[in-house]
Amino acid sequence: MKVLVTVKRVVDYNVRIQVKPDGSGVMLDGVKMSMNPFDEIALEEAIRLKEAGKATQIVAVSIGPQAVQEQLRSALALGADRAIHIPLDAAPQPVNAARALAGLAGRENPDLILMGKQAIDDDCNQTPQMLAALLGWPQATFASKIELNDKAATVAREVDAGLEFLSVDLPAVISADLRLNVPRYPKLPDIMKARRLPIETVTPEDLGVEFVPEAKLLKVAPPPKRQAGRKVASVDELVAALRERGLLS
Amino acid sequence: MNRESLEFDVVIVGAGPAGLSAACRLMQLANEAGKSLRVCVVEKGAEIGAHIISGAVFEPTALNELFPNWKEQGAPVTVPVENDELHYLLSERRSIKAPGFLIPKPMRNEGNYVISLGRLCRWLAERAEALGAEIFTGFAAADVLYDDAGAVAGVVTGDMGVARDGSKKPNYQPGVELLAPYTIFAEGCRGHLGKRLMERFKLRQEADPQHYGIGIKEIWRIDPSHHRLGHVIHTLGWPLDNETEGGGFVYHDEGGLVSLGLIVALNYRNPYLNPFNEMQRWKHHPVVRRFLEGGTRIGYGARAVNKGGWQSVPRLSFPGGVMAGCEAGFLNPVKIKGNHTAMKTGMLAAEAVFEALQKGGVPDLDGRYRQSWVDKELFRGRNFGPALAKFGTLIGSTFIWIDQNIFRGKLPFTLHNRVPDHATLDRAANSREIDYSKPDGVLSFDRLSSVYLSNTNHEEDQPCHLVLTDPSIPIAQNLPLYDEPAQRYCPAAVYEIVEAPGQGARFQINAQNCVHCKVCDIKDPAQNITWVPPEGGGGPNYVNM
């Protein structure tokens, strides 16, 4: 069984995001970049499937500038067998990523596509769903447990009410939630070996897709500053203050 | 324990200016000689530059030697110092600008550049990798390995996935042995392995104790109308008193940014002194605040620097290895610069080790250092630190001006300061408390909101990396004698005295805040705190600091 895992390069979760003064985006100069944590979880799941003898080949794919190869190398160090880079000047919008990945799925014929449920930079949570729709495959999102047999996967989904169990026929798109697993650390010798492995390049032309943005970014702004609070002397004063702001009737 | 091991020709600990220059120089020497060389650099920061912090005004001497065509190669050294001022701050409002002739000559900055050392290190790392060195970030060198004869045989990286209680978590991964005939230690100031090596090989026997300062730095994006590219300001005096050494800096860097900070010598006497608060109030002085009004603070960090200079340089070579850069302590305290000497001693370490790889034996770094311009320049400035320590800032500076400008550092005597910095505190009972006014949230801030800007993170479930030799000392000794100074000297609010009703005082260590500055390891009066590396990748994630 072949598993395709998507890997996005994002600003590291520890970094305090700074918005560019002109509102065109966020500061990236000198900022630590990492593999999207949900993609790390998806990759870890693929590695565990392989270790359990259920998957035979793991292919990691990333879309973006040359720098995304760093994250592909991490994926190789962690246990991916192959890495594919789809070159693009900037990170794509979800629908474009889904189109490119659909094209790639047509070439690679994976039995399972594992993805993070969303990327922590744009928080879109759209690509897995769009990809499944474009491919006409079943999907299971927010997976916290995956059990595979030859023809289908049973997936526990994290939903508001608790867990929902789905069975999806393969091939399918499954997106990983936080509690699916705890990813392993890369080993230093494996990082070294991964530096010598090839990274395949598949261009948008090879896939017959064009990355024309479908959504227009108007502005990026930092969240409004929290106003200083004030202390109230009594419950009556608190109730009055809440009424004043229309928070109590 | 059964660990994996990897063999190299040279292992380098630390990817700062010294370690990376050593890696570049080693690969250059190997390539010139047509030899293949396996060089491995390990760095505890999550990536290159994550733990790098420096002013910085940069003297390009060593870079000129390492990469004569650095300009064509695109080194991020692009902002020449245009204007260089020294202000003596008399009080919280008043100041005098020192006329140029009054500034000790080595303190002048013609031909130097305002840089981000983090950026320069990323560039050096790219060069080192292009030349063939292997760099691994996110791996801390946890301990030194020795062979049967007692020579250094390499290092072992830290275990990952260990829980707070020492048990192994499901993602536990043992460290890896990195073995090599020679190891270059370049951990920076007060490296935890360097400390062990100095003890084991008695490297400090003929040297004065090392002396330190704490540097606290912020980066601000300022109102463009206040920005003057390449403008450099140093301050002396307020808010520090005459018996506390230190000074401030304001450097106008590219991108509308300003790097600013205050260095406070760690031989200060008053246990109530709080370097962080001194830095915060320093920003309120008109000389500094005029640039900051209307600006936004975007970065924060702190680091111990060594400033013992020439008298404090230890022996550098030992069987199986050498120490370079701030690990040994080559910062020139008169110039307040150590990046050029770190790079140069890294290069000298590479040359010594490359020679030893052919000839065997202990690498001769000490001889190379004594013949280099690093020794000459540190010798010339050797009386700076002790003079300030002995005579205070006012008379000390006068002496230094005469020493540097009239005698060019050639006075026929050498002053010494043999009191280590941890032994200088007065008793709290004999000291005055310092009234630091509350931060205004505009120019000055508290410690926690500052640490937030350093992007510091540690895996929470791991053993505490600040180890107390005797856990009773903070409350039983340090609190009554010195009002536990750790509460104040730590720039990241790691140490707290917590009073629980009915239970008395308790010493709390918030290790996840630690920005790896090493000041606690240096200043604790009982020398009871040992800094050891947390899980690899932990600590600050500085952006272009």
What 3 state SS string does B357-411 have?
Answer: HHHCCCCCHHHHHHCCHHHHHHHHCCCHHHHHHHHHHHHHHHHHHHHHHHCCCCC
User: Is the pLDDT reported for residue A79 higher than 70?
Assistant: yes
**Residues of chain B found within 8 Å of residue A183, distances taken between Cβ atoms:** 171
Predicted confidence band at A42 (pLDDT cuts at 50, 70, 90)?
A: very high
B176 contacts chain A (CB < 8 A): yes
**How close does chain B come to A99, measured CA to CA in Å?**
33
Residue bearing the bigger pLDDT, B385 or B497: B497
Q: Which of B40, B44, B47 to mutate to test the interface with A (most CBs of A within 10 A)?
A: B47
**Distance in Å from the first CA to the final CA of chain B:** 39
> How is B231-275 classified by DSSP, letter by letter?
EEEEEEETTS-TTS-EEEEEEE-STTEEEEEEEEETT---TT--H
| A21 or B266, greater pLDDT | B266
Q: Name chain A contacts of B162, Cβ cutoff 8 Å.
A: none
Helix (H) or strand (E) segment spanning residue B5? strand B5-7
User: Pick from A27, A185, A195: which is nearest to B161 by CB?
Assistant: A185
Q: Give pTM, 2 decimals.
A: 0.94
Confidence of residue B1 (pLDDT cuts 50, 70, 90): low
Rounded CA gap, B316 and B116, in Å? Answer: 28
| Residues in chain A whose Cβ is within 8 Å of chain B | 12, 14-16, 18, 21, 27, 29-32, 182-185, 187-189, 191-192, 195
Per-residue exposure over A60-94, b if at least 16 CB sit within 10 Å of its own CB, e if not: bbbbbeeebbebbbbbbbbbbbbbbbbebeebbbb
List the single residue in B136, B161, B543 with the smallest CB-CB distance to A188. Answer: B136
pLDDT digits (tens, 9 = 90+) for B170-186: 999 999 999 999 999 99
- Contacts of residue B352, defined as CB under 8 A and 6 or more positions apart, other chains included, come to B317, B322, B363, B364, B365, B368
Q: With contacts defined as CB-CB under 8 Å, which chain A residues touch B116? A: 30
Contacts of A184 in chain B (CB under 8 A): 171, 173
Mean pLDDT of B105-117: 91
Q: Which residues of A touch B136 (CB under 8 A)?
A: 188, 191-192
pLDDT digits (tens, 9 = 90+) for B263-273: 999 999 999 99
Mean per-residue pLDDT for A129-136? 98
**Statement: residue B368 has pLDDT above 70:** yes
* pLDDT for residue B442 is more than 70: yes
Residue B385's pLDDT is what?
Answer: 82
- Bridge partners (DSSP) of residue B246 are B264
CB contact under 8 A, B49 and A30: yes
Between residues B372 and A211, which one has the greater pLDDT?
B372
On whether any CB of chain A is under 8 Å from the CB of B455, the answer is yes
Q: Tell me if residue B306 falls in helix, strand or coil.
A: strand
Instruction: Quote the minimal CA–CA distance from A30 to chain B in Å.
Output: 5
Q: Each residue of B193-238: pLDDT tens digit?
A: 999 999 999 999 999 999 999 999 999 999 999 999 999 999 999 9
User: Which value does ipTM take for this structure?
Assistant: 0.89
Q: Which residue of B has its CA nearest to A31?
A: B543
Select from A14, A29, A183 the Cβ nearest to the Cβ of B544. Answer: A29
Mean pLDDT in residue range A135-150? 95
Under 8 Å between Cβ of B265 and B307: yes
Compute the average pLDDT of residues B42-57: 96
Own/partner long-range contacts of B191-194 (Cβ < 8 Å, ≥24 apart): B191/B13, B191/B14, B191/B327, B192/B521, B192/B530, B192/B531, B192/B532, B192/B533, B193/B13, B193/B141, B193/B143, B193/B144, B193/B155, B194/B323, B194/B327, B194/B328
B4: contact with A, CB 8 A cutoff: yes
Task: Say what percent of chain B tops pLDDT 90.
Answer: 88
Q: Say whether pLDDT at B393 is over 80.
A: no
Q: In residues, how long is chain B?
A: 545
Interface contact flag, B455 A16, Cβ < 8 Å: yes
Q: What percent of chain B has pLDDT over 70?
A: 100
Peptide bond into A60 cis (omega under 30): no
Q: Are A225 and A234 in contact (CB under 8 A)?
A: no
Q: What is the pLDDT of residue A248?
A: 85
pLDDT at B394: 74
* Residue B50 Cα, gap to closest chain A Cα (Å): 8
Whether B50 has its CB under 8 Å from any CB of chain A: the answer is: yes
Averaged pLDDT, A131-144: 98
In the prediction, which pLDDT does B388 show? Answer: 81
Residue A3 tokens, joined: 């598993």
Contact B544 A195 (CB under 8 A): no
Section B122-130 average pLDDT: 98
Our CA-based measurement puts residue B456 at a distance from the nearest CA of chain A, in whole angstroms, of: 7
Taking the CA atoms of residue A97, residue A102, residue A107 and residue A112 in that order, the dihedral angle to the nearest 10 degrees is: 100
